[in-house]
Structure 1
Amino acid sequence: MSGEGGGPRSVLFACALNAVRSPMAAAILRHLVGDRIRVESAGVRAGITDPYAVAVMDEIGIDISEHEPSTLKEIDDPDFDLIITLSPEAHHHGVEMTRILPANVEYWPTPDATVLLDSASREDLLVAYRDVRDTLFQRIKQRFLPSAGGPIV
């Protein structure tokens, strides 16, 4: 199930709606490791493409504008070595998936910037989305590109 160096060959990022956190995380990991790891994202429920997520990812040169939110039930090939859940609801579903998959599950609690949509200014929203993006970027680098031995792939 693992690639060279013991790292996962396939990773699923899961969150509630597959509109912000999980597509950001999947795009960041793809950006960092290319095609050395199969990377997918899905949500418990399908949301809609989030323009703030697209905007803050574009700021770092990663295009997620073509991302179409999908659900965990819509995954074509559910064979993953690692499921990283980014919300409590997704974590519950990720653990349930391990009843039929020999996958490891890691829970990375990640704030939901969309809770501010009805109350914050555009600039405050962008700051919140950037915080999510930057937190995910750092966590992914730490998890998949440890400084001592290079990428785990």
Structure 2
Amino acid sequence: MTINKKLLMSIPDKIGVYIFKDQENNVLYVGKALSLKNRVSNYFIPETLALKERQIKEKTVNIDFLITKNEAEALILENNLIKQYSPPYNIRFKDDKSYPLLKITMQDGYPAIYITRELVEDGSRYFGPYASAWGIRRVARYAQRLFG
């Protein structure tokens, strides 16, 4: 890998998404991190790299990064970029599903709880996105029991 050390030093210690690219500027891998600096630097500690990470490191000549406001925003951006570029080293999120959200509406003065994959400007409160559909279903069942 011929990554400029100056580039590595310029990566911020912030939440965001990193994009590894090859010499033809093709996207090889998209990832998210709570600390871009720490996560990207992990690719340069040879003894800790798995085979896939070593292959990514060997083919990467440029790294782009996008800073986000929070982890949820980074997760959504990562998902969208993976769907847009279909990087060869990303396996997660290659299907066309989006992340589930918990939707709470107030009907007749009582909360109604739904799971949705679409955020609509309808006055409802949305929580998420959640990476685990199983986990959000469990939370929704608990909340429905709690509110009747």
TM-score, normalization: structure 1? 0.23
Greater fraction of residues in helix:
1
| Structure that is richer in strand per residue | 2
Q: Which has the larger radius of gyration?
A: 2
